[in-house]
Structure formats: structure tokens, C-alpha cells
Amino acid sequence: MRRDNRIKNNENSKSILYIGLSVGTIVLLIIIALIFINTNTSQKEEESKLITSKVTDLVPNNNTVENTSKEASSSLGKNVTESEKSLKEQNSVNNTNSSVSNTNTANTTKNENTIANNTVSNNTNTNKTEETTTTTETNIEDEKKDVKEEKVEDPIFIKPVEGETLREYAKDKLVYSETLKEWVTHPGIDIKAEKTSVVKAAADGKVISIKNDPRYGLTVVIEHQNNFRTVYSNLLTAEFVTEGEEIKSGQTIGTVGNTAIFEISDEPHLHFEILKDNENVDPGIYVQQ
């Protein structure tokens, strides 16, 4: 019995709890709804006041209209004054531009005159340059003439030994050789002379060689001005000069002998040659008789 009563009491307690929760929930919802309604009402009142204020501002007062008219009138007056000032300033600018234009024209005229003067000056300088060039060319020609006048003359050759010519110069023709028993060329002349006859230098020069030639025997070679050389062969001796020695025309250089193998069968003589630019020339043309 007691157990049943406990069960019933528990059930009654639960029912009361549920009912209390339900009532509390409903009361809470009602409070929330009231708060929401009050908030919307306040917002609508504020919006209504704002709209009223804007409408009031849009409607102009008499004082506002008068002030607006005065401001417009003042603005017009200012515009007229500003226009007059603008015209004055424009006239001033035009006058300034005119002055600048006149100044530029004057400067242009000065520049043209300066250019003309420079042109004349350049032409004058050009003429002077041409005259200088002509003078220089004339000087060069004069120098060339002086060089031609100062050109070193060919040496004057004397006969290196006294005697008659046994064999003539024959570079472009053949002569008969008693020693070789055949016709051969002959690059110099053979001057008949007794053994030990003195051989002299044909012109001023320098001894460049003393040698034993396999064809023409003991030989002395002397170098002269203008690229001339003289050759003295078939010598017996050449102890009177040394290589590199400067000698004078007519100075003794050796004696006549009989050492030339190619001319051993001929009478004692001097084999004499003259070369110009390393080419044999006819001694008969250059040697004074």
C-alpha cells in the first residue's frame, strides 16, 4: 500500500514539474514578444521624426529665399568684375606676346646677320685655306725641284790601268775565248797591261769585297754612289786595300796578274766590269778615255 502511495506521489510530482515548465515557457515567450513589439514601435517613431525633419528642410523660408537672391546677385556682380579683369589680363598678355614677337623678330634678324657674317667668314677662311693649300703645293713642287737639283750625279770613272782593250764588252753577243775554245759572253772589258802594273780605283768608293773568284781569279769589288759597283779581276796582288776601307779615285788597289782561269791563255791584262743596280753595263760608256 505504501508502495502504491509512493508511486502516485512521484507521478504527481512529475506532473507538477511539467506543468511548471510549460507555464514558465509560455510566460517567457510572452515577454519576448512584448520586447519585440516595443522595439519595432520605437524604430517607427524615429523614422517618422526623420521624415518630418527632411520635409521641413525641403520647404524654403522667406529668409532663405532672400539670402539666396542676394547670393545670386553678388555672384553675378563678381562674374562681371572677373570678366573685366580677364579682358584686361588678356590685353596685357597680347601686348606681352606682341613685345615678345617683336623681340624674336629682332633676334631672328640678328641671327640672320650673324649667319651671313659667319658665312662670309667661312668663305674667307675657305679662300685662305685654298690659298694655303696652293702655297703648300707650290712649296712641295719647289722642294721636288730642289730634290731634283740636289740629285747626286753618277760617278765619273777613270781608266783603272793604262793600255789597249784586248776584248770588248759583250753581254748581248758572243766572243771567241782562246782559253775555252768556244764562243762566250763577256760582262766587262779586258785592258792589256804588263804584270805588276798598278791598278787604280776608277772612282771614289768603299771596298766591299776581296775574293778569289773561280773564273776570274783574285778580285776586288768597290761600291760607289748611285748604286754603282766596279770589279777588278785577274789581279796578282790586292794587299794595298782592305774590306770596308773608304778609298779615293786613282788610289792603288792592286797589281795586274794572270790568275783568271777562264782567260789564262790571254796576254796579261786587267778584267774590268761596271755594274749599275747589280746589272752589268758597258764600261766603255762610263770610262773617260
Q: Name which residue leads in pLDDT, 150 or 28.
A: 28
Tell whether 243 is covered by a domain.
yes
Residues 159-180 have a mean pLDDT of 92
What pLDDT does residue 223 have?
98
Work out whether the CA dihedral 219, 193, 288, 271 comes out positive or negative: negative
Tell whether 225 is covered by a domain.
yes
In the block, which residue shows the cell 568684375? 81
Tell whether 180 is covered by a domain.
yes
pLDDT in tens, 186-226: 999 999 999 999 999 999 999 999 999 999 999 999 999 99
Q: Name which residue leads in pLDDT, 154 or 36.
A: 154
Residues 118-144 have a mean pLDDT of 60
**266 vs 193: CA distance, rounded Å:** 11
**242 vs 206: CA distance, rounded Å:** 10
Do residues 203 and 187 lie in contact, with contact meaning Cβ atoms separated by under 8 Å?
Answer: no
Question: pLDDT category, 93, cuts 50, 70, 90?
Answer: very low
Tell whether 144 is covered by a domain.
no
Tell whether 132 is covered by a domain.
no
Q: Is the pLDDT of residue 274 over 80?
A: yes
Question: pLDDT category, 98, cuts 50, 70, 90?
Answer: very low
Tell whether 192 is covered by a domain.
yes
Full domain range(s) for residue 183: 165-286
Nearest to 186 by CA among 178, 176, 196: 176
CATH number of the CATH domain containing 282: 2.70.70.10
pLDDT in tens, 100-111: 444 454 454 455
Tell whether 103 is covered by a domain.
no
What pLDDT does residue 36 have?
76
* Domains: count for the chain: 1
In the chain, the N- to C-terminal Cα span, in Å, equals 194
What pLDDT does residue 80 have?
39
Tell whether 88 is covered by a domain.
no
Question: pLDDT category, 48, cuts 50, 70, 90?
Answer: low
Q: Using CB atoms within 10 A of its CB, is residue 169 exposed (0-12), middle (13-18) or buried (19+)?
A: buried
Question: pLDDT category, 32, cuts 50, 70, 90?
Answer: confident
